């Protein structure tokens, strides 16, 4: 009998993270990670699965989370880096980084790097929740990753989602021959609590009933590609290192395929988080 795979999902307290957990829990050992203790515990009780709490706006909590995961789970077959969101006014975290960049990219980078030996031992799939925002708004400037010049919430979010795609490509390049397979995906315009913590106009767009009913899709539909990537066969069903939407290869910005940029972003990210 094939052992059940262990799937760690961040950003799992609601939205597509919780929806993916509900789809995967019957046949896999799902581990939830969320920022809200109450909401994460509620989903965990519903599914009868373990959960851990970490706020990615504080990298010390990411390091503690990684230590806990390493101590409690001898295998991690899938790491779904799904936590993230768009912010309002520019904020700087306790670690000194622009919040959008840290929560959406740096924290995911750090968590993956801290778990890298366990992931390689497990021949893990590492899945990044990216976004079409990378193409719409993203334009990475490695000399201004903190968006100190001309900040806007959508630019910062687009940059971070572009960083997710580039991180996926570079992760595959660096660790593909050691057993890791990486992928990123766009979930669609999902009717979730996305942007609910911001004053940005997207909060009102996402949570206006007419927009929510006519434009957005359900969290379960948004989670479909994540579930597919987590349960299908890399190299057969999908190309490792790729970016996907609706279970198919997708295109993003020109920068998203720039492997020199991906390499430099990796090195800068490692330096920023002290790896």
Instruction: Give the separation between CA 95 and CA 45, rounded to whole angstroms.
Output: 32
Q: Which residue has the tokens 């800068």?
A: 268
151 is catalytic: no
Dist. CA 102–CA 85, nearest whole Å: 11
Catalytic option among 73, 157, 175, 243: 157
Task: Report the candidate in 105, 101, 86 with the shortest Cα–Cα distance to residue 147.
Answer: 101
Residues 6 or more apart from 273 whose CB is under 8 A from it? 59, 106, 109, 110, 113
Catalytically active residues, by annotation: 157
């Amino acid at each position: 009998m094939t052992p059940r795979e262990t799937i760690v999902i961040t950003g799992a307290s609601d939205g597509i993270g919780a929806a993916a957990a509900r789809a995967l829990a019957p046949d896999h050992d799902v581990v939830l990670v969320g920022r809200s203790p109450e909401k994460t515990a509620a989903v965990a009780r519903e599914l009868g699965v373990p959960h851990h709490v970490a706020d990615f706006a504080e990298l010390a909590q990411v390091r503690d989370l990684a230590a806990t995961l390493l101590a409690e789970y001898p295998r991690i077959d899938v790491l779904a880096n799904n936590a993230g969101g768009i912010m309002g006014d520019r904020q700087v975290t306790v670690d000194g980084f622009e919040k959008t960049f840290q929560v959406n990219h740096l924290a995911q980078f750090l968590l993956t790097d801290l778990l890298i030996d366990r992931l390689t031992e497990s021949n893990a799939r590492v899945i990044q929740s990216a976004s079409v925002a990378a193409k719409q708004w993203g334009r990475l400037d490695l000399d201004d990753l903190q968006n100190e010049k001309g900040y806007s919430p959508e630019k910062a979010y687009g940059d971070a989602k572009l960083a997710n795609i580039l991180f996926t490509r570079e992760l595959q390049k660096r660790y593909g021959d050691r057993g890791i397979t990486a992928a990123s995906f766009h979930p669609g315009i999902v009717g979730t609590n996305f942007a609910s913590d911001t004053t940005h106009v997207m909060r009102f767009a996402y949570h206006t009933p007419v927009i929510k009913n006519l434009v957005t899709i359900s969290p379960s539909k948004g989670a479909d590609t994540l579930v597919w990537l987590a349960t299908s066969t890399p190299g057969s069903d999908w190309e490792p290192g790729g970016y996907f939407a609706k279970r198919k290869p997708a295109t993003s910005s020109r920068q998203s395929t720039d492997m020199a940029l991906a390499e430099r972003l990796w090195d800068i990210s490692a330096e920023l988080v002290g790896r």
